[in-house]
Amino acid sequence: MEWLIDFYRPLSAALGMSTGASDSLLHVHGGMVVLFLARIATRRSLATWTPFLFVLAAALAKEAVDRIAHGAWRMPDSAFDVLNTIFWPFVLMVGLRWRRARPDGSGGDRNAGGG
């Protein structure tokens, strides 16, 4: 397990330093990348729970690795990281589900947005 920590710490720090992006912004972008990769891999619409659940699982796994790397939970930071990671994928999923469910048919192409 120590090899994972030795690999993870510098990689995590280098990502932030090389991009110049804040930790919060990296979580937002990471969530969206995982969402679209899950969409492609599963071939499930972004309006379904499947791609979003991949994002949630990735966010929780990342925080578990952070916990191992830091030796303790940093709960306010961890909760904020998970929220930053899942917020826009969740909003996108809910919006697409809402558009599909519109009874007046004004939702446009039901296959748009990954369907």
Q: Is residue 63 part of a domain?
A: yes
pLDDT number for residue 66: 87
Cα gap 63→84, rounded to integer Å: 12
Categorize the per-residue pLDDT at 16 as very low, low, confident or very high, splitting at 50, 70 and 90.
confident
On whether residue 110 sits in a domain, the answer given is no
79 within some domain: yes
Other Cβ atoms closer than 10 A to 115: 14
Quote the pLDDT of residue 110.
53
Structural domain total, the chain: 1
Residue 107 placed within a domain: no
Residue 111: inside a domain: no
Whether the pLDDT of residue 24 is over 80: the answer is yes
In a domain, 113, yes or no: no
Which residue range is the domain that position 26 belongs to? Answer: 2-101
Model pTM? Answer: 0.81
What CA–CA distance (Å, rounded) separates 46 from 93?
Answer: 6
Residue 77 lies in a domain: yes
Q: Is residue 6 part of a domain?
A: yes
pLDDT in tens, 29-88: 999 999 999 999 999 999 999 999 999 999 999 999 888 888 888 999 999 999 999 999
